[in-house]
Amino acid sequence: MSSLDNHKMGLIVPYRDRAEHIKQFLPHILAYLNKQSIDTAVYIIEQESGKAFNRAKLLNIGVLEAQADCDYFVMHDVDMIPVNVDYSYAADPTHLAAAASQFNYTLPFKRYFGGVTLFSREVLETVNGYSNEYWGWGYEDDDMAWRCSFAGYTLQRRLPGLFESLWHEGVEEQDRYRNRDQFLEQCAAKLVHNSDGLNTCQYSVIDRDETEERVWLKVSL
């Protein structure tokens, strides 16, 4: 793909056991980015079975694998199909999924920063990427938003950010937002971002499959 602004995006897709989703997502996103003339390297980071899913660590792995070739990154859930989304470069941390069908095209809460987010390489180096300690569902995006705010960045939201969400079994609603404010206060009190993130991300590559369109890594955490 050609680029209009000399930037190259690393599209990082954390993945496990969503075969039907990836079949729909991959051709759609490749065509969509091609229409926007976004120079892109697509990295699908698949976690092997045996442990709870760790989305944030998979995103860190994608950054580590792609950082030599890309100067900004979009962290993209596999169940989010873009309808009206601008994937171009931004210097500040930027939320791209402001209007997803799963939330009736609105934000589930004011500081929602999940689904699809964009970071420059400089931002990720400054905040040390994501925490590696979020096993199971949730909160890794809240932690990342706090890391960015603590480092002095202003979180941006790019509109319209319209996505269609592919169906999958969800998390119980009472677990989805439980004790969020208390949790974020604990994050801020720990100040662990310098010792938990890209610089402590350990993994092994089990399999690597590359085509002209994407790099698919299966990893052990």
pLDDT tens digit string along 175-188? 444 455 565 566 65
Domain count along the chain: 1
Question: Is 174 a domain residue?
Answer: yes
Question: Is 21 a domain residue?
Answer: yes
Q: What would the two tokens of residue 60 be?
A: 């860190």
pLDDT for 185 equals 64
pLDDT for 139 equals 83
Residue 169 pLDDT > 90, yes or no? no
Please report which confidence band the pLDDT of residue 77 belongs to, taking 50, 70 and 90 as the band edges: very high
Element (H, E) at 31: helix 19-35
Question: Is 37 a domain residue?
Answer: yes
Three-class SS state of 165: strand
- pTM of this structure: 0.91
Distance CA 65, CA 61 (A): 6
Question: Is 2 a domain residue?
Answer: no
Range of the structural domain that residue 158 is part of: 9-220
Question: Is 1 a domain residue?
Answer: no
Question: Is 104 a domain residue?
Answer: yes
Question: Tell me, what CATH number does 167's domain have?
Answer: 3.90.550.10
Q: Where are the alpha helices (DSSP H) in 36-172?
A: 55-66, 121-127, 140-150
Question: Is 164 a domain residue?
Answer: yes
Range with lowest mean pLDDT among 24-38, 89-103, 137-151, 202-216: 137-151
Q: Where are the alpha helices (DSSP H) in 76-156?
A: 121-127, 140-150
Question: Is 3 a domain residue?
Answer: no
